[in-house]
Chains A and B, each alone.
Chain A
Amino acid sequence: MPNQLHRRQAMQATLAWAGAAVLANRTERAHGFLNANDRPRIGAVGTGSRWYQKATGVDSQYGSAPSMRQLGDYTAICDADAYRVGLASGIAKEWSGAAPKASADYRAILDDKEIDIVHISTPDHWHAKIAIEAMLAGKDVYCEKPMTLTIEEGRLMSKVCKETKRVCQIGTQQRSNPKFIQAIALIRAGRLGDVKKATCSIGGAPTSPELPIAEPPKTLDWNLWQGPAAETPFRYLAGSNGETKSWSRGHYEFRWWYEYSGGKLTDWGAHHCDIATWGLGKTETGPVSVDPVMVEHPVEFKDGYPIDESRYNTATKFLINSTFADGKEIELRHDQGNGILFEGTKGRIFVNRGRLTGTPVDDLKGNPLPADALKSVYKDRELTDHFRNFMIACQDRNDPISDVHSHHRALTTCHLAGIAARMGRKLKWDPKAEKIVGDEQAQALVDRERRKGFEIEV
Chain B
Amino acid sequence: MNTLVRRAVLSLTIVAFLLTPLSAEDWFRWRGPNLDGISSESDWDCDWPEGKAVIAWRASVGIGYSSVVIADGRVFTIGHVDGHDVVHAIHESDGTIAWRFQYPATLDDRDFEGGPTSTPTVDGEQVYVLSRAGELFCLNVGTGESIWQQSVAEQADVRLPGWGCSAAPLVVGDRLLVNLGAAGAVVDKKTGELIWSSEDRESGYATPVVMPDSNPPAAIFASGKAYVAVEIETGRQLWSERWLTSFNCNAADPIISERRMFLSSGYNRGAALFELGKEAPKLIWKSKEMKNQIHGSILYEGCLYGLDGDMEAGARLRCMDWKTGEVRWSEDDLQPGGMTLAGGRLILLTESGELLVAPADAEVWRPIAETKVVEGKCWTGPVLSNGRIYVRSIQGELVCIDCRS
In chain B, what residue has the closest Cβ to A352? B236
- Provide the bound-state CA to CA distance between A335 and B198, in Å: 17
Minimal beta-carbon separation of A446 from chain B (angstroms) = 31
- Provide the bound-state CA to CA distance between A358 and B216, in Å: 11
A337 touches B237 (CB 8 A): yes
A residues less than 8 Å from B233 (CB atoms): 348, 357-359
Minimal beta-carbon separation of B152 from chain A (angstroms) = 15
* Residue B314 lies at the interface, judged by CB distance under 8 Å to chain A: no
- Provide the bound-state CA to CA distance between A350 and B230, in Å: 12
Most buried by B among A348, A349, A357: A357
B237 touches A336 (CB 8 A): yes
B residues less than 8 Å from A350 (CB atoms): 231, 234-236
- Provide the bound-state CA to CA distance between A323 and B234, in Å: 25
Most buried by A among B216, B234, B235, B237: B234
Partner of A355, one of B235, B238, B279, B280: B235
B234 touches A348 (CB 8 A): yes
B residues less than 8 Å from A348 (CB atoms): 216, 233-234
Minimal beta-carbon separation of A315 from chain B (angstroms) = 16
- Provide the bound-state CA to CA distance between A377 and B231, in Å: 28
Minimal beta-carbon separation of A279 from chain B (angstroms) = 15
Mark each residue of chain A from 332 to 366: 1 if its CB lies under 8 Å from any CB of chain B, else 0. 00011101010000001110001101110010000
Partner of A357, one of B183, B234, B240, B280: B234
A164-203 contacts to B (CB < 8 Å): 201
Minimal beta-carbon separation of B388 from chain A (angstroms) = 41
B199 touches A354 (CB 8 A): yes
A357 touches B279 (CB 8 A): no
**Interface size class, chain A:** 10 to 19
- Knowing A355-B196, A357-B195, the reply to whether A341 touches B238 (Cβ < 8 A) is no
A341 touches B236 (CB 8 A): yes
B236 touches A337 (CB 8 A): yes
- Provide the bound-state CA to CA distance between A107 and B289, in Å: 66
A358 touches B199 (CB 8 A): no
- Knowing A350-B231, A354-B199, the reply to whether A339 touches B236 (Cβ < 8 A) is yes
Partner of B197, one of A201, A341, A355: A355
In chain A, what residue has the closest Cβ to B231? A350
A-B contact number at CB 8 A: 38
A335 touches B239 (CB 8 A): yes
Most buried by A among B195, B235, B238: B235
Minimal beta-carbon separation of B30 from chain A (angstroms) = 25
- Provide the bound-state CA to CA distance between A341 and B230, in Å: 13
In chain A, what residue has the closest Cβ to B235? A357
- Provide the bound-state CA to CA distance between A349 and B235, in Å: 10
- Knowing A336-B239, A354-B199, A355-B197, the reply to whether A341 touches B280 (Cβ < 8 A) is no
B237 touches A362 (CB 8 A): no
- Knowing A354-B199, A355-B196, A357-B236, the reply to whether A335 touches B231 (Cβ < 8 A) is no
A residues less than 8 Å from B199 (CB atoms): 354
A residues less than 8 Å from B231 (CB atoms): 350
**Interface size class, chain B:** 10 to 19
B181-210 contacts to A (CB < 8 Å): 183, 195-199
Minimal beta-carbon separation of A84 from chain B (angstroms) = 31
B residues less than 8 Å from A357 (CB atoms): 195-196, 233-236
A residues less than 8 Å from B198 (CB atoms): 354
A residues less than 8 Å from B236 (CB atoms): 336-337, 339, 341, 350, 357
B residues less than 8 Å from A362 (CB atoms): 195
- Provide the bound-state CA to CA distance between A362 and B196, in Å: 10
- Provide the bound-state CA to CA distance between A354 and B231, in Å: 16
In chain A, what residue has the closest Cβ to B183? A337
A residues less than 8 Å from B238 (CB atoms): 336
B residues less than 8 Å from A355 (CB atoms): 196-197, 235
A337 touches B240 (CB 8 A): yes
- Provide the bound-state CA to CA distance between A354 and B196, in Å: 9
A335 touches B234 (CB 8 A): no
A358 touches B239 (CB 8 A): no
In chain B, what residue has the closest Cβ to A355? B196
- Provide the bound-state CA to CA distance between A349 and B237, in Å: 13
Minimal beta-carbon separation of B189 from chain A (angstroms) = 13
A286-320 contacts to B (CB < 8 Å): none
Mark each residue of chain A from 80 to 124: 1 if its CB lies under 8 Å from any CB of chain B, else 0. 000000000000000000000000000000000000000000000
Minimal beta-carbon separation of A148 from chain B (angstroms) = 30
- Knowing A348-B233, A350-B231, the reply to whether A335 touches B280 (Cβ < 8 A) is yes
- Provide the bound-state CA to CA distance between A382 and B197, in Å: 28
Minimal beta-carbon separation of A347 from chain B (angstroms) = 9
In chain B, what residue has the closest Cβ to A337? B237
In chain B, what residue has the closest Cβ to A358? B234
Minimal beta-carbon separation of B182 from chain A (angstroms) = 10
B residues less than 8 Å from A201 (CB atoms): 237
Minimal beta-carbon separation of A359 from chain B (angstroms) = 6
A residues less than 8 Å from B237 (CB atoms): 201, 336-337
Minimal beta-carbon separation of B201 from chain A (angstroms) = 12
- Provide the bound-state CA to CA distance between A7 and B216, in Å: 57
- Provide the bound-state CA to CA distance between A357 and B232, in Å: 10
In chain A, what residue has the closest Cβ to B238? A336
Mark each residue of chain B from 233 to 271: 1 if its CB lies under 8 Å from any CB of chain A, else 0. 111111110000000000000000000000000000000
Mark each residue of chain B from 353 to 380: 1 if its CB lies under 8 Å from any CB of chain A, else 0. 0000000000000000000000000000
- Provide the bound-state CA to CA distance between A201 and B198, in Å: 16
Minimal beta-carbon separation of B226 from chain A (angstroms) = 11
A residues less than 8 Å from B280 (CB atoms): 335
- Knowing A355-B196, A357-B196, A362-B195, the reply to whether A335 touches B279 (Cβ < 8 A) is yes
Minimal beta-carbon separation of B229 from chain A (angstroms) = 9
In chain B, what residue has the closest Cβ to A294? B279
In chain A, what residue has the closest Cβ to B186? A357
- Provide the bound-state CA to CA distance between A39 and B374, in Å: 78
- Provide the bound-state CA to CA distance between A43 and B246, in Å: 50
Most buried by A among B198, B199, B236, B279: B236
- Provide the bound-state CA to CA distance between A358 and B231, in Å: 10
- Provide the bound-state CA to CA distance between A337 and B196, in Å: 15
Minimal beta-carbon separation of A220 from chain B (angstroms) = 36
B17-53 contacts to A (CB < 8 Å): none
Residues of B within 8 A of A (CB): 183, 195-199, 216, 231, 233-240, 279-280
Rank and list the top 6 A-B pairs by shortest CB-CB distance, nearest first: A337-B237, A350-B234, A357-B234, A350-B236, A357-B196, A358-B234
Q: List 28 A-B contacts (CB under 8 A).
A: A201-B237, A335-B239, A335-B280, A336-B236, A336-B237, A337-B240, A339-B236, A341-B236, A348-B233, A348-B234, A349-B234, A350-B231, A350-B234, A350-B235, A350-B236, A354-B198, A354-B199, A355-B196, A355-B197, A355-B235, A357-B195, A357-B196, A357-B234, A357-B235, A357-B236, A358-B233, A359-B233, A362-B195
Given contacts A355-B197, A357-B234, 20 further A-B contacts (CB under 8 A): A201-B237, A335-B239, A335-B279, A335-B280, A336-B237, A336-B239, A337-B236, A337-B237, A339-B236, A341-B236, A348-B233, A348-B234, A350-B231, A350-B234, A354-B198, A355-B196, A357-B195, A357-B235, A357-B236, A362-B195
